[in-house]
Every structure is written in structure tokens, then in C-alpha cells.
Chains A and B, each alone.
Chain A
Amino acid sequence: MPAKRHAASTTATPVPVAPATLSSGPPTLKTNASAAAIAQHVWEQYLANTPQRTLLLDAFMAFLVLVGGLQFLYCVLAGNYPFNAFLSGFSAAVGQFVLTASLRMQTSDSGSGSSSKPSSKGKNARFVDEDNQEQVSGTSHERAFADYIFGSLILHFFCINFIN
């Protein structure tokens, strides 16, 4: 049951990647375009505007979602007999996905950083956001990547230890 929620949330994530680029990219679409045309356009925009590195990360994330989804499907269909193994496999996928998402946030900072700003409403958010900005952009790409490796090492150590 709880695992289901994982799967639901993870499978949905590749979709929102697109609108973020849409907002930054030049919209040349007509207002009455069909859904397929919009999707097509969004996809092209995404391919055109995303740097190579981020594309790589996105591909990796999509792969992880696939792996996690497959494991979950197996668990539902064929039973969860080696529960330790399933759990460590699945949480390896989820954990790696989450870490990669974090890395993506830190490295492609301009996109996600600015888009988070308008969403934070409320009176108190005002003087917090200034801090957000400087601190998120404060982490260099190398530092973010080192952190990522550190986190991944711990994650996979735990998974291997847990696999029985």
C-alpha cells in the first residue's frame, strides 16, 4: 500500500519537467492548438532548451522510474516473497531517483530556483525567499556532484546490506 504511493508519485514526475521549460522557452503556439500539438511543441522545446547534462539526468530518472515500476509490478503480480530483496531493490530505485532529482535541482539551478519563488506565498515567505536564492545558488556544481556521490554510496551500502 505505501509502496503504491511511491510508484504513483514517481511515474508522474517526468511529465512536469516539460511545463517548466515551456514557461522559460518562447511560446510560439496558437491558442487553439490541439493537445497533441501542444505536447509535440513542449517536447521539442524541452529537447532544444535543456542542456546535455540535465538531459542525461532526466534519462536516468526515467530509467529509475521504469526499474522501480517493474519491481513494483513484479511484487504485485508474483508476490513479495523475498521481501528484503524487493524492498532494497525498490528503495534503491526510489532513493536514487530522489537523489538524482536533488542533483538536478542543484545543477540546473536557474530553472527550478526561480520557479519556486512565485509558488511560495504568504506574508512570512517574503524574507525567507531571499535566503533561499542565495543558498541554493551557493552550492557549486562540483560540490553538488560530490554530495550526490556521497549520498549514493550510503544508499547502496544500506541496500546491499539489507538484501540478505
Chain B
Amino acid sequence: MAQSSSLDVLLKGSSGQSTRGLLRIIILITIAAAAVASRLFSVIRFESIIHEFDPWFNFRATKYLVQNGFYSFWDWFDDRTWHPLGRVTGGTLYPGLMVTSGVIYHILRFLTIPVDIRNVCVLLAPGFSGLTALAMYLLTCEMSKSPSAGLLAAAFMGIVPGYISRSVAGSYDNEAIAIFLLVFTFFLWIKAVKNGSIMWGALTALFYGYMVSAWGGYVFITNLIPLHVFVLLCMGRYSSRVYISYTTWYALGTLGSMQIPFVGFLPIRNSDHMSALGVFGLIQLGLLRTLSAGVIAPWSGRFYSLWDTGYAKIHIPIIASVSEHQPTAWPAFFFDLNFLIWLFPAGVFMCFQNLKDEHVFVIIYAVLASYFAGVMVRLMLTLTPIVCVAAALAVSSILDSFLVLTKPNPESQTKTTSEDSKSLRSTQKPVVGIYSYFSKAVVTGSITVYLLLFVAHCTWVTSNAYSSPSVVLASRMPDGSQFIIDDYREAYYWLRQNTPDNAKIMSWWDYGYQIGGMADRPTLVDNNTWNNTHIATVGKAMSSREEVSYPILRQHDVDYVLVVFGGLLGYSGDDLNKFLWMVRIAEGIWPDEVKERDFFTARGEYRVDDEATPTMRNSLMYKMSYYNFQSLFPAGQAVDRVRGTRAPTESPQLNTLEEAFTSENWIIRIYKVKDLDNFDRDHNNAVAFDKGLKRKRASKKKGPRVLRTE
């Protein structure tokens, strides 16, 4: 791709305008196709399946939307999640994604293309990534006069891993469309600032509204555009264009964003949005200032600095909300952006060289986004577009000056130098032309090598790191053949087929969306973690003794309990490894009943083998995980492959639950909660009776003890 775009530069002189236009369109289509194709690894390797956790909810919501229509989706109260409570789903989600795929689905149906809603959802993210590449082309073309910059930026954006990480086929999440909207909104904004027309401002507002309906990250736009305007004001660049575009955007965009129930009155109440309002007020003052030239100007500086503290305040909620996320490790930048990351500063520097309004925008965006990306891994996604723009500017200027075969003639040289003397620095273009073919060949060759390496790196990262559905796992057999581990779907399908339609499933919240989506059964908690107490209840049930857990299970109508156990296969993301989090969350609500300390041995170790603490051994989670596990191994040789320890040699005894289903590789184990005993015994006694143990023993043991204490 990069090759062909440089070819475009070559053709510039010889062929006519239309040829170049045609070529550009062809190249853009090719880039879009490459962007889509590079995201299809998981579909080819596995199948057309929704990935991970959150996409399953989006998928389920989309199905609901398609089946029941828009209005009932809007008022959707979901009683199949958060079991006793339910969730006001329609008012607590960003509907943009679901509505988009619903519209696409209906359009395709209208065109008599019988497509499955699942395939629409799976392929939505790759499709939109193609559009993102186009939007990127438009945005970069606003920044630079060189046509190759736009094409390069589009190519970078199409295949850069930082963006692919969130948009492979099947990762049906809000980011899938949000990044396209982000880039396109910025394009429209730049266009609005350049032209100063109400129409572009209104279009910006419309796409901003769409963005608000799609992703919580819209706050980034809400703060970036006012900041851009603010900086322009500080630089003394107030103009009617800025006034027109900003006020139009703000007036329409704020109203538009308030149309989304989940956002509601936030734009006028939340401090995240105050910067926009502040700048709106400020620019009205700007209106005053220009018309009554010089009345306010004397104290405007102080005024601005007042506003500056307000600006520091904006970012606190963002930073605060970040604390739960990990800061980015520095290799991640290289991993996600490869050689773009060191071209990025060069590109930003070039923006300083011809500092127009749009270049100010690039600089602000670059500074802010790189700061946020350093704070939080997830925000790498917002950094990626600007890195692509800046890197494309840098590469295109290198290629433009080194790829021209003809020697620069001195005439043009003198002309450019005279222009140079007029502008800011004579250092702007110290070398106007490159004469030796050798240096041309070396530079062009090395850039080509870097581009090729970039493509190879992107392909490698995408195929290895970002294309796993994590619902279906793949591993290699000793002979190198692929081994598909499909335990999740096996278990969820079992639930779907063998349990009543409203059997309540209790599991840790990670699996809530998947159970809802794949097994279609009500769950207690899910990945929309809106009620911490409810999650803590589940944690308590999992980490307590059976006698404590059973009443909790009964109170919540739980029919089945699902645990994930990786001990047989060495699957490290299982529930025993997450167990401490369940304990901690439960301890946060019931500090007297659940204590984290009790789960560690005297030496402070987290052990699950024979030396595990009694609390650990008696916890429901431990019992469910290791129930009958030793029967797979010869006596005394049971091994837990995740934790690399010996598993308990004797099976834990479960009194109140019975094993209902265990998947092929034991990853998912499902237990049925026993009903109350027919003879009104407690479950301990009932099980003991069934085993043929005498009841007396227990009471006998108790007798003397009581005597002794008295």
C-alpha cells in the first residue's frame, strides 16, 4: 500500500488530474479492503463468532432491538439479569452500536440479502475500520498539501495494531464504530474551522451526537474541541470562523448529546463538560471583544489565566476514573504502533513549522492523547489516530523530497529561498534539494524497509495477540496440529438445552454476559457491574461454608452454580485464581463474616493443596472446583496444572449441591442447588444418612464437650 501511494507521487507530474484522482480512489479502496481483510483472522481460524465478554451483551441487546423494534428497546427493562433486581437496560447503555447494526440489518434485508444478525455484528467492526481509513484520509488531507500524506495515514490507520486490538471481526464493542466517529468528527471540525460555515459546524454537531450515542469516550471530543478553541483564543487567533463553528457545534452538539437517556443532563451538570460551556461563554466575550475593539483586551490575559485553572480541573474526573485501569507499559507503545511511534514527534514538529489552526489542533490532540495513553492502556485507542496523522505527515515529506528522480533546478531553489526569508526561520528548509542519487536511494530504501517491517509487524501482532475470541481457545498439540478447546460453548449449550427457561444461574460476574448471550438464562450478576453489593453477595456465597452459602443461594432463587476451573488443562484465567477478588469484594461489605486473612496460610501463602487453610477448604468455590477431581488421576497423583501444585487427594464433600455437568476439559463445572430435604433434615445429615453413617456419632461427640465446658 505504501508502495502504491509513493507511486502516486511519481505519477504526479506526468499524468493528468483525472488519472491521479482515479488512482487515489483505487488506492483508498485497496486500503479499505486491506483494513477489513486484516481483521478477519479470527473468522478464518475459528468461525464467525462474537468475542469475549462485553460484545456478548451488545449482541444480545442488538438481537432484542431487531426483534422488538426501537421503542421497546428504548424502554427495555431486562429482568433476566441481576436476578432479583433487574436492569433498566434501555436507559443505561449507549445505543449507537446496536442501532447502527440494526439499521444495517434492515437495509440488507430490504435489499433482499438474507443476512444473519450475528454476521452483521461480527463484521461491523472490520467494516467500520475501512470507513475509518477513509475518514483518516480526509482528515490528513486537511493537514497537508501533499496527497501522499492522506493515503499514508489511511494505510497506517487501516493496519495499525493499536486500532486493530479493538476492532477485529467479532469484537462487537462500542469502540468498533466510535473510532470512526471520532476521526470523522475531527475531520468535520477542522473543516468547520477552516471554512467558518454553519453547515460544517452543524455536521460536526450531528456526528458528535452520534458519537455520544456510541461511546463514553465522547468526553474526549467534548474537551478537545473547546481546548482547541481556547488555545486559538490565547494565541490571538480569534476570528469569526472560530466563533461560527464553535458556537454552532456547542449549541447543537450539547442538545444532541442530551437526547441520549444515559447521558441525560450530564452535559450541563457534570464537570467533564464544563470546559465546553466555559469556552462557549468565553467566545461570547470574544464576540464582545472584537466588536468593541480593545475594551476588554487589557484584562483579558488575567481572564484567560483564570480559565486556565478551570482547565486543570477538567481532567481530574478522567484521571480519577482511570485508577482501576493499568498504566501503559512502555513496550506497549512499540507493540501497538511500531515505527509510527518514533515518527510521531517528527510529525508533530512539522506541524509547528506551518502553524495553522488545524495544526494547532494536531499538536493539542497529540499532547493530550499521549498523556492519557500513558496513564491508561485503553486510551491507546485515542492516541492511535493522531499518531497515524503525524507519522504520515513525516513519511510523506521524506518521500516527497527524496523520491523525486529529477535534480532540483537552481531556479526553483532561489525562489524557495526567497520565500524562506519572508517566513519565520531560514532553517525551515536548509536543504532544498537532494542531488546525489545515492542518498536518495538509501533514504527511500530504508523507508521502504521500515514500511515493509511495519506491515509484517502488524500482521504478526494481529494474528497472534488480537485475534483470539477467548470464548473458543486454541492450543497446539505436541505434533503441531491445532487443538480447539470449546468448553465454554459446550457448557452454555448444555444449560440452554437441559435447564428450564428461567433457571437462575449464579456465576462470578465475568461470565454474566456470556451466560445471558449464549445460554439465554437469567443471571445474578454480569459485566455491567452497577451494583457492588449484589456482586459481593455472590462473592460471599462463593467464599463461605456451605451452611452459610445455602441460605444465600435459596434466597436468590439460584438453581445452578457455574464455576470455571482450569486445573486439568492449565487454563490460568479460572475462578480459583480470581478467588481472592471475590473474597475481597465480599469482605468490603461483610467484614466480619468474610476475612481475606483466613484464606492465607500461617506463612501468608495462597495455597490450594493439602496445606490450604480450613476456611479455604470449606469454601464453596474450593469444593466445587476440586469436587471429584482426584478421580481423573491414579491415587495420590492428582495435580493442579494451573497452580502447579498437588490437588487434594480426597474429593471435597458437597452436601447442598450436586454436580450437574462438567465440560470436556473440565473448564466449566455446573452444579445444581439441591432442593430442601424431603424429611426436613439438613443437608449434612441427609448426605451422611445416604452414605450410611450413623447419626449418633455427631451427637455423641458433642455431649462430652458440653459437659467439660460446664
Q: A95-B251, A128-B356, A154-B205 are in contact. Are A2 and B274 (CB under 8 A)?
A: yes
Q: Which residues in window 365-414 of B have CB below 8 A to A?
A: none
Which A residues are in CB contact (< 8 Å) with B198?
99, 102-103, 106, 144, 147-148, 150-151
Do B255 and A119 touch across chains, with their CB atoms under 8 A apart? no
Task: Give the size of the chain A interface in residues (CB under 8 angstroms).
Answer: 62
Q: A2-B274, A6-B281, A135-B194 are in contact. Are A19 and B293 (CB under 8 A)?
A: yes
By secondary structure, the B interface counts as: helix
Do A136 and B241 touch across chains, with their CB atoms under 8 A apart? yes
By secondary structure, the A interface counts as: helix
Which interface residue of B248, B274, B285, B291 has the most chain A CB atoms within 10 A?
B291
Do A151 and B199 touch across chains, with their CB atoms under 8 A apart? yes
Mark the stretch among A26-34, A47-55, A69-77, A108-116 that contacts chain B.
Answer: A108-116
- Check if A12 is an interface residue, CB within 8 A of chain B: yes
Q: A9-B285, A19-B292, A120-B239 are in contact. Are A95 and B255 (CB under 8 A)?
A: yes
Task: Give the size of the chain B interface in residues (CB under 8 angstroms).
Answer: 53
Which B residues are in CB contact (< 8 Å) with A9?
281, 284-285, 288
CA distance A124 to B292 in the complex (A): 23
Tell me which of B202, B250, B288 contacts A154 (CB under 8 A). Answer: B202
Do B292 and A20 touch across chains, with their CB atoms under 8 A apart? yes
Mark the stretch among B230-238, B327-335, B588-596 that contacts chain A.
Answer: B230-238
- Check if A82 is an interface residue, CB within 8 A of chain B: no
Do B291 and A162 touch across chains, with their CB atoms under 8 A apart? no
Contact with B along A133-162 (1 / 0, CB 8 A): 001101100011011101100110011011
Which B residues are in CB contact (< 8 Å) with A103?
198
Which A residues are in CB contact (< 8 Å) with B48?
none
CA distance A9 to B251 in the complex (A): 14
Q: A5-B277, A105-B244 are in contact. Are A125 and B235 (CB under 8 A)?
A: yes
Which A residues are in CB contact (< 8 Å) with B295?
16, 19
Do A136 and B196 touch across chains, with their CB atoms under 8 A apart? yes
Q: A139-B195, A143-B197 are in contact. Are A112 and B291 (CB under 8 A)?
A: yes
Do A119 and B297 touch across chains, with their CB atoms under 8 A apart? yes
Do A151 and B202 touch across chains, with their CB atoms under 8 A apart? yes
CA distance A123 to B288 in the complex (A): 23
Which B residues are in CB contact (< 8 Å) with A116?
238-240, 290
CA distance A119 to B199 in the complex (A): 26
CB distance from A126 to the nearest CB of B (A): 9
Q: What residue of chain B has the Cβ atom nearest to residue A111's Cβ?
A: B291
Q: What residue of chain A has the Cβ atom nearest to residue B194's Cβ?
A: A135
Which A residues are in CB contact (< 8 Å) with B201?
151
Do B238 and A13 touch across chains, with their CB atoms under 8 A apart? no
Q: Which residues in window 1-58 of A have CB below 8 A to B?
A: 2-3, 5-6, 8-10, 12-13, 15-17, 19-20, 23
Tell me which of A17, A87, A88, A106 contacts B244 (CB under 8 A). Answer: A106
Tell me which of B202, B250, B281, B355 contacts A5 (CB under 8 A). Answer: B281
Which A residues are in CB contact (< 8 Å) with B423?
127
Contact with A along B238-271 (1 / 0, CB 8 A): 1111011001101110111011000001001000
Contact with A along B270-301 (1 / 0, CB 8 A): 00001001101100110111111111010000
CB distance from B363 to the nearest CB of A (A): 12
- Check if B357 is an interface residue, CB within 8 A of chain A: yes
CA distance A57 to B557 in the complex (A): 67
CA distance A155 to B278 in the complex (A): 20
Where the two chains meet, the residues of B that have a C-beta atom closer than 8 Å to any C-beta of A are 194-199, 201-202, 205-206, 235-241, 243-244, 247-248, 250-252, 254-256, 258-259, 265, 268, 274, 277-278, 280-281, 284-285, 287-295, 297, 355-357, 423-424
Pairs A–B under 8 Å by Cβ, sample size 28? A2-B268, A3-B268, A6-B281, A10-B284, A13-B287, A16-B287, A16-B291, A19-B291, A23-B293, A87-B265, A91-B254, A98-B247, A101-B287, A102-B247, A105-B244, A115-B293, A116-B290, A119-B289, A122-B237, A124-B237, A125-B235, A131-B356, A136-B240, A150-B199, A154-B206, A158-B252, A158-B259, A161-B259
Where the two chains meet, the residues of A that have a C-beta atom closer than 8 Å to any C-beta of B are 2-3, 5-6, 8-10, 12-13, 15-17, 19-20, 23, 83, 87-88, 91, 94-95, 98-99, 101-103, 105-106, 112-113, 115-116, 118-125, 127-129, 131-132, 135-136, 138-139, 143-144, 146-148, 150-151, 154-155, 158-159, 161-162
18 other A-B residue contacts (CB within 8 Å) besides A13-B288, A102-B243: A9-B284, A9-B288, A12-B288, A16-B287, A19-B293, A94-B251, A101-B243, A105-B244, A115-B291, A116-B239, A122-B235, A122-B237, A124-B237, A128-B357, A136-B240, A151-B202, A151-B252, A159-B255
Closest 10 CB pairs of A and B: A95-B251, A147-B198, A9-B284, A16-B291, A98-B247, A102-B244, A158-B255, A16-B292, A122-B236, A147-B199
